[in-house]
C-alpha cells in the first residue's frame, strides 16, 4: 500500500521475510486470548448471576463482542497490514500523538502489568507442582517469574520464527489441556447439576441488567487479547489474507472452548458449587480424578500462562519499534538484529519493565486501573474504521475491491462493539473512581512527554 493511501508512514516491520502463515496467525490470536482467565473466571460469573442460562448467556454474549471486535480488526488488518497494529490505525486515522499515548499506556501499564500478573501466576503454579509452596519455600515466586520471563525473552530475541514456533507449541498444549477438561468433565461426571428452569434469577428489571453487566466484566477480560496478533502483521505471509482469517478462526475457536469449559463447570459443580470455589477447573478435575486430576489441571494452567507470556513478548514490542521509527520514542528501540531480524531492544525493554512490576508486587493494584484505559483504546481503535471508510468514499486510499475483507453488518456491528467497550469504561469509572483516575493520570502524563520528545527531535 502506498504511503498516500492512509497517511505518510509505512513500516514493513523488523522481520522483512514475513515468514508467518495462517496457522501461526491463528495460534497467535488464540494465544493472546487464553491465559489463566478461563480456568478461574467462571466462578466470578456464577457469583454475579445465579442460573445456568444466565451464566452460559454471559459467556455467549462475551463471545459475540469478541467476534464483533475480530470482524473490525480483520478489516483494519486488511487495510493497513503494518507493524504495530492498533498503534498504526490510531496514527493514520487521528494523529501521531494519539498513537503515542496508546503505546505509552501499553508499555507502562496495560501490557506489562498484565504480563507481570500472569508471570507470578505461572510461578505459583510451578512452585506448587514442584512441591515448593509459594511464599513459604526457599524460592520466592517473583524469582521464578523473572527466570520464566528471561528465558522467553531470549527465545523471542532469537528470531520471529523461533518465537512463533514456541508460542504455537505452547498453544497446542493449552488447547489439549482445555479439551481434556471439557471431555473428562462431560463424560466422567455422571450426575449433571444443571437445572435450566428458571432461566432468570430475578424478574426482568434494571437490577437484572446490572447483574448481567457485572457478569460480563470477567467474561470480556477472559476474551480479550485477540487484537495483539495485529501488532505483528508486517511479519506475516500475505497479511491481508492470513491475518483476517486467523482472527476469525482463532476467536471462533476460543468461543467454542470457553463455552465448553463454562458448561462443564456448571454441569459438574452446579451454580452454587461453582460460586463457592475460586478454582473451578481444579474442582472439576478433582471431582473426576481426585488429587491427580487437580495436579494435571495445575500443569495445564502453568503451560497456559507460559504460552500467554510467550505471545506477549513476541507481539507487543512491535508497537515500541514502530514508535521509535516514527521518532516518538527512544531511537534504540528501532534497532533490529541483523541476523534474527527482531527488535531486540524493544523486547528487552518490555521484559525488564515487566520484571520490575512483578518484583514490586504492585501488579495487582496496576491491574485494578488498567481496565478503563484498555477499553478506551479498544473502542477508539474500532472508530478508525469509520475514518478509513469515509476516506475510501472520497476516493482517498485503495479501492474497496482491493481490501479483500469487509466487516459484515457495518456500521451496526461496529457501533455495537464501540458501545460495549465504552460502557465497560463507564462502569469501571463508576465502580472504581480512584483507580480509574490513576490510570487516566498516567495516560495524560504522556502528552507533555510526547511534546517534549518532539521538541527535542526538532532541535
| Measured CA distances, 355 to 141, 148, 153, 196, 371 (Å) | 12, 10, 11, 46, 21
> Looking at beta carbons, which pairs linking 169-174 to residues 24 or more positions away fall under 8 Å?
170/31, 170/303, 170/306, 170/307, 170/310, 171/27, 171/30, 171/31, 171/34, 171/307, 171/311, 172/27, 173/300, 173/303, 173/307, 174/30, 174/31, 174/34, 174/300, 174/303, 174/304, 174/307
Confidence check: pLDDT of 233 > 60: yes
CA 195 to chain centre: 33
Q: What is the pLDDT of residue 390?
A: 92
142 vs 251, higher pLDDT: 251
Q: What is the pLDDT of residue 169?
A: 84
Confidence check: pLDDT of 1 > 50: no
Query: In this structure, what CATH number is given to the domain that contains residue 235?
Result: 1.20.1740.10
Q: How many CB atoms lie within 10 A of CB 292?
A: 10
Across 309-317, average pLDDT: 88
Q: What is the pLDDT of residue 168?
A: 80
Q: What is the pLDDT of residue 8?
A: 42
- pLDDT > 70 in the chain, percent: 91
Across 327-348, average pLDDT: 86
Q: What is the pLDDT of residue 41?
A: 85
- Name the band, by pLDDT with cuts 50, 70 and 90, for residue 359: confident
Give the residue numbers spanning the domain of 137: 17-454
Confidence check: pLDDT of 9 > 60: no
Does 6 fall in a domain?
A: no
Does 296 fall in a domain?
A: yes
DSSP state of 279: -
Q: What is the pLDDT of residue 7?
A: 39
Across 178-207, average pLDDT: 83
Does 444 fall in a domain?
A: yes
Across 125-141, average pLDDT: 70
Q: What is the pLDDT of residue 6?
A: 37
Residues 256-269: tens digit of each pLDDT: 999 999 999 999 99
- Name the band, by pLDDT with cuts 50, 70 and 90, for residue 348: very high
The lowest-confidence range among 205-219, 276-290, 320-334, 376-390 is 205-219
287 vs 197, higher pLDDT: 287
Does 7 fall in a domain?
A: no
Does 8 fall in a domain?
A: no
**Nine-digit cell at 112?**
506489562
Q: What is the pLDDT of residue 257?
A: 94
- Name the band, by pLDDT with cuts 50, 70 and 90, for residue 13: low
Q: What is the pLDDT of residue 354?
A: 93
Does 208 fall in a domain?
A: yes
Q: What is the pLDDT of residue 444?
A: 92
Does 11 fall in a domain?
A: no
Top mean pLDDT of 12-26, 350-364, 393-407 is at 350-364
Does 3 fall in a domain?
A: no
- Name the band, by pLDDT with cuts 50, 70 and 90, for residue 16: very low
- Name the band, by pLDDT with cuts 50, 70 and 90, for residue 387: very high
Query: Would you call 143 exposed, middle or buried from its count of C-beta atoms within 10 A (0-12, 13-18, 19+)?
Result: middle
Q: What is the pLDDT of residue 410?
A: 92
**Nine-digit cell at 192?**
449433571
- Name the band, by pLDDT with cuts 50, 70 and 90, for residue 345: very high
Q: What is the pLDDT of residue 106?
A: 92
Confidence check: pLDDT of 133 > 70: no
Backbone phi, psi, residue 369, to 5° = -120, 15
Task: Using only the alpha carbons of the chain, give its radius of gyration.
Answer: 22
Residues 60-113: tens digit of each pLDDT: 999 999 999 999 998 998 888 887 889 999 999 999 999 999 999 999 988 888
Say how many CA atoms lie within 13 Å of 21 toward its Cβ.
2
Confidence check: pLDDT of 320 > 60: yes
Q: How many domains does the chain have?
A: 1
Q: What predicted TM-score, i.e. pTM, was given to this entire model? A: 0.85
Confidence check: pLDDT of 195 > 90: no
Q: What is the pLDDT of residue 341?
A: 79
Residue 181 and residue 164: Cα distance in Å, rounded? 26
Q: What is the pLDDT of residue 418?
A: 95
Amino acid at each position: 500500500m502506498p504511503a498516500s493511501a492512509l497517511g505518510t508512514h509505512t513500516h514493513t516491520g523488523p522481520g522483512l521475510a514475513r515468514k508467518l502463515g495462517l496457522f501461526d496467525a491463528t495460534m497467535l490470536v488464540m494465544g493472546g486470548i487464553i491465559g489463566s482467565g478461563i480456568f478461574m473466571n467462571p466462578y466470578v460469573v456464577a457469583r454475579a448471576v445465579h442460573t445456568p442460562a444466565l451464566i452460559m448467556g454471559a459467556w455467549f454474549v462475551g463471545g459475540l463482542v469478541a467476534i464483533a471486535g475480530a470482524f473490525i480488526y480483520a478489516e483494519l488488518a486488511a487495510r493497513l497490514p503494518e507493524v504495530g497494529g492498533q498503534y498504526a490505525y490510531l496514527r493514520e486515522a487521528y494523529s501521531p500523538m494519539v498513537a503515542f499515548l496508546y503505546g505509552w499506556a501499553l508499555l507502562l501499564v496495560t501490557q506489562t502489568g498484565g504480563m507481570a500478573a500472569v508471570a507470578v501466576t505461572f510461578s505459583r503454579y510451578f512452585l506448587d507442582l514442584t512441591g515448593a509452596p509459594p511464599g513459604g519455600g526457599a524460592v520466592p515466586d517473583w524469582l521464578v517469574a523473572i527466570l520464566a520471563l528471561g528465558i522467553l525473552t531470549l527465545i523471542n530475541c532469537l528470531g520471529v520464527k523461533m518465537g512463533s514456533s514456541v508460542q504455537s507449541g505452547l498453544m497446542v498444549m493449552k488447547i489439549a489441556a482445555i479439551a481434556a477438561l471439557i471431555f473428562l468433565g462431560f463424560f466422567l461426571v455422571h450426575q449433571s447439576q444443571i437445572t435450566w428452569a428458571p432461566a432468570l434469577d430475578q424478574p426482568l428489571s434494571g437490577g437484572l441488567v446490572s447483574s448481567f453487566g457485572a457478569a460480563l466484566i470477567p467474561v470480556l477480560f477472559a476474551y480479550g487479547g485477540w487484537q495483539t496478533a495485529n501488532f505483528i502483521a508486517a511479519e506475516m505471509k500475505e497479511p491481508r489474507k492470513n491475518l483476517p482469517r486467523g482472527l476469525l478462526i482463532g476467536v471462533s475457536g476460543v468461543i467454542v472452548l470457553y463455552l465448553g469449559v463454562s458448561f462443564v463447570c456448571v454441569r459438574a459443580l452446579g451454580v452454587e458449587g461453582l460460586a463457592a470455589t475460586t478454582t473451578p477447573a481444579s474442582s472439576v478435575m478433582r471431582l473426576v480424578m481426585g488429587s491427580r486430576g487437580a495436579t494435571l489441571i495445575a500443569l495445564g494452567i502453568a503451560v497456559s500462562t507460559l504460552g500467554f507470556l510467550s505471545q506477549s513478548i513476541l507481539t507487543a514490542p512491535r508497537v515500541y519499534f514502530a514508535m521509535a521509527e516514527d521518532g516518538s520514542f527512544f531511537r534504540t528501540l528501532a534497532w533490529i538484529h541483523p541476523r534474527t531480524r527482531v527488535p531486540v531492544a524493544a523486547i528487552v525493554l518490555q521484559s525488564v519493565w515487566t520484571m520490575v512490576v512483578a518484583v514490586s508486587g504492585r501488579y495487582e493494584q496496576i491491574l485494578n486501573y488498567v481496565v478503563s484505559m484498555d477499553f478506551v483504546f479498544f473502542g477508539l481503535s474500532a472508530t478508525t474504521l469509520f475514518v478509513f471508510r469515509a476516506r475510501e468514499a472520497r476516493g482517498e486510499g485503495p479501492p474497496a475491491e482491493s481490501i479483500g475483507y469487509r466487516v459484515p453488518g457495518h456500521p451496526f456491528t461496529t457501533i455495537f462493539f464501540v458501545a460495549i467497550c465504552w460502557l465497560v469504561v463507564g462502569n469501571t469509572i463508576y465502580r472504581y473512581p480512584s483507580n480509574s483516575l490513576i490510570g487516566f493520570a498516567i495516560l495524560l502524563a504522556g502528552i507533555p512527554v510526547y511534546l517534549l520528545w518532539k521538541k527535542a527531535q526538532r532541535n
